[in-house]
Amino acid sequence: MGCKKSKLDQNNGVLDLKMHQPSRTNPTVYVKDPTSRNAQTTVRSENMHLLCLWTQRAVFIPTEQKDSDKIVLALYPYDGMQPEDLGFKKGERMQVLEEHGEWWKARSLATGKEGYIPSNYVAEADTMETEEWFFKDISRKDAERQLLAPANKPGAYLIRESETSKGSYSLSIRDTDAKGIDAVKHYKIRSLDNGGYYISPKITFPNIESMIKHYHKQPDGLCRKLEKPCDKPKAQKPWDKDAWEISKDSIKMVKKLGAGQFGEVWMAFYNNTTKVAVKTLKPGTMSPEAFMEEANLMKTLQHERLVRLYAVVTKIEPIYIITEFMANGSLLDFLKSQAASKLQLPKLIDFSAQIAEGMAYIEKKNYIHRDLRAANVLVSESLLCKIADFGLARVIEDDQYTAREGAKFPIKWTAPEAINYGSFTIKSDMWSFGVLLYEIITFGKIPYPGMSNGEVMTSVQRGYRMPRPEPCPAELYEIMTSCWKDKPEDRPTFDYMQSVLDDFYTATEGQYQQQP
CATH superfamily of 134-217: SH2 domain (3.30.505.10)
Domain 242-325 top-level CATH class: alpha beta
Q: Name, in order, each residue with C-beta under 8 angstroms of 429's C-beta and a sequence gap of 6 or more.
A: 359, 362, 363, 368, 369, 370, 372, 494
Of the listed ranges 271-285, 427-441, 452-466, the one predicted with least confidence: 271-285
Distance, CA of 245 to CA of 240 (rounded, Å): 11
Closest-CA residue to 391 (of 309, 476, 508, 492): 309
* pLDDT of 260: 72
Domain 331-507 top-level CATH class: mainly alpha
Q: What angle do CA 102, 125, 144 make, to 5 degrees?
A: 70
Q: In Å, how far from its chain's centre is CA 390?
A: 13
Told to judge if 240 belongs to the known catalytic residues of this protein, a careful annotator would answer: no
Closest-CA residue to 227 (of 147, 137, 135, 146): 147
- For 202-205, which contacts have Cβ atoms below 8 Å and span 24 or more sequence positions? 202/516
The 309-313 sheet, strands edge to edge: 251-260, 263-270, 274-281, 319-324, 309-313
Distance, CA of 42 to CA of 471 (rounded, Å): 61
Q: Where is mean pLDDT largest: 64-73, 161-170, 397-406, 472-481?
A: 472-481
* pLDDT surpasses 90 at 147: yes
**HSE-up of 93 (CA within 13 Å, CB side)?**
9
Given a contact cutoff of 8 angstroms between Cβ atoms, the answer to whether 158 and 194 are in contact is no
Q: What sign results for the dihedral spanned by CA atoms 330, 334, 335, 337?
A: positive
CATH superfamily of 74-128: SH3 Domains (2.30.30.40)
Q: Name, in order, each residue with C-beta under 8 angstroms of 206's C-beta and a sequence gap of 6 or more.
A: 195, 196, 197
User: For residue range 169-226, what is the model confidence (pLDDT) as tens digits?
Assistant: 999 999 998 888 889 999 999 998 888 999 998 999 999 999 999 999 999 999 999 9
Residues 33, 175, 242, 371: which is the catalytic one? 371
Quick one: 199 exposed, middle or buried, by C-beta within 10 A (0-12, 13-18, 19+)? Answer: buried
The DSSP bridge pattern shows strands 157-161 and 134-135 to be parallel
Closest-CA residue to 85 (of 209, 359, 271, 283): 271
Q: Is 18 annotated as a binding residue?
A: no
- Do the first three CATH levels of 74-128 and 331-507 match, i.e. the same topology? no
- Beta-carbon neighbour count of residue 421 at 10 Å? 9
Distance, CA of 428 to CA of 370 (rounded, Å): 8
Q: Where is mean pLDDT largest: 4-13, 58-67, 312-321?
A: 312-321
pLDDT range class, residue 237, cuts 50, 70, 90: confident
Higher pLDDT, 391 or 239: 239
Distance, CA of 141 to CA of 161 (rounded, Å): 13
Of the listed ranges 22-31, 108-117, 325-334, 472-481, the one predicted with least confidence: 22-31
CA distances to 34, 35, 70, 72, 118 from 104, in Å: 20, 17, 12, 11, 6
Given a contact cutoff of 8 angstroms between Cβ atoms, the answer to whether 226 and 157 are in contact is yes
Q: What are phi and psi of 373, to 5 degrees?
A: -160, 170
- φ/ψ region of 439 (left if φ > 0, alpha if ψ in -120 to 50, else beta) reads alpha
End-to-end Cα, the chain, rounded Å: 50
Domain boundaries, the chain: 74-128, 134-217, 242-325, 331-507
Given a contact cutoff of 8 angstroms between Cβ atoms, the answer to whether 121 and 152 are in contact is no
